[in-house]
Amino acid sequence: MSLINLLKQKNKKVLFTTPSHGQSFFIVNKFRHFYKNDISETDAHNPQEALEKAQESASKVYGVKYTKFLTNGSSSGIIASVLSCVKSCEKVLIWKNAHPSHKNAVELAGGVPVYYELPFIEEWGIFGAVDVDKLKSILDSEKPVALIITSPSYEGIVSDVSLISDVCGQYNVKLIVDEAHGALYPFTEKLPKSSVGIADFTVQSLHKTAGGLNPTALLHSKEIDPSEALAKINTTSPSYPLLMTIEANIKFLNSSRGRNVLNKLIDTLELLRNECENVEFYGDDLTKILIKKEGFSGEELSEKLFEEFDIEDERTNGTSTMILTGIGTSLKKLEKLKQALKRLN
């Protein structure tokens, strides 16, 4: 039985278990359906077994040995990945400006963080991809047991994960990829290639671009079972409504309907780039609309879009502005953005 079907069933048992709302006491009435599906592992239909089957099915979709559902964001996936392959006092190579979870993960494992830097692209005000030649030098000198990279970056810059994986194999280094912003990659050939199945561990945030609820995410492992590590950091009272949405999210993305929605989004984004010739675009990921406009700083461009066109961007620096799109971005919203960009002067 899937998690989706399990939560559709009405439990006819008289429960004297957690959660204490008993699926019928709704403190926040707007969330009454959430309460109705908020079950406990002690309930009648063995939700833990349903979860295990849902994760096994997901691993087949992604072509890896293990896929784990996360309800504490990609941060928990990064931490579990490190705990699965790093021992006390071992070195882990992490980016100097990486998400805090990278350093936290190494410290929790008792490891030693060693920092590398990424090239900075001045004309866009963002960091670039991993320099593989410099990486080889650091791996040779520091001899870490694991490497964590972020690909894609927040702004959609993608590193050559296949090449990096080969290099890590030469140095016997486990590769962990923070692909939080790349959850759509496995479901279309029109976006960069996913790290899933290439890296030893890949972590994806469904809530960032793939339409999931905050803070749903996935941890994919090519060989190592991360279950023991996850058990050390996860609650023993998981949210089954959130877990159910993860299962449903994957099924949608992997369906013909989901792929059609995604490809239509990408086609529209390509058209937007082609038609807005007065604006410069950059990046490897079409869903991250990184733009700049001659005569405007990034902050000025952001303010103009907000004040004159009621468009709020995701991230801005002194040079460029990034507008985030995802599976839930309507074509109507993109049309409004396109018209706004065309009218910039």
- pLDDT for the residue numbered 44: 45
CB 201 within 8 A of CB 219: yes
Sheet containing strand 315-316, strands side by side:
280-282, 288-292, 321-324, 315-316
pLDDT-based confidence at residue 25 (cuts at 50, 70, 90): low
* The pair of three-digit structure tokens given for residue 7, joined into one six-digit string: 């939560």
- Over residues 223-247, the pLDDT tens digits come to 999 999 999 999 888 888 899 999 9
**For residue 158, what are the CA distances in angstroms to 63, 70, 217, 279, 284?**
21, 24, 20, 22, 6
**For residue 218, what are the CA distances in angstroms to 14, 229, 244?**
34, 14, 13
User: In which region does residue 211 sit, left (phi positive, over 0), alpha (psi from -120 to 50) or beta (all else)?
Assistant: left
- pLDDT for the residue numbered 32: 81
Is pLDDT above 70 for 294?
Answer: yes
Coil/strand/helix, residue 333:
helix
Is pLDDT above 90 for 254?
Answer: yes
Is pLDDT above 50 for 147?
Answer: yes
Higher-confidence position of 253 and 8: 253
Is pLDDT above 60 for 269?
Answer: yes
Once rounded to an integer, what is the mean pLDDT over residues 287-292? 97
Kindly report the backbone phi and psi dihedral angles of residue 269, in degrees, each rounded to the nearest multiple of 5, phi listed first.
-65, -40
CB 281 within 8 A of CB 88: no
pLDDT-based confidence at residue 141 (cuts at 50, 70, 90): very high
Q: Give the separation between CA 336 and CA 13, rounded to whole angstroms.
A: 52
Q: What DSSP designation does 152 have?
A: S
Write down the mean pLDDT value for the chain: 92
Is pLDDT above 90 for 218?
Answer: yes
Strands (DSSP E) along 71-159, which ranges?
A: 91-95, 112-116, 120-121, 126-127, 146-150
Once rounded to an integer, what is the mean pLDDT over residues 158-170? 98
- Beta strand pairing call for 146-150 and 91-95: parallel
Whether this prediction's pTM lies above 0.85 is answered by yes
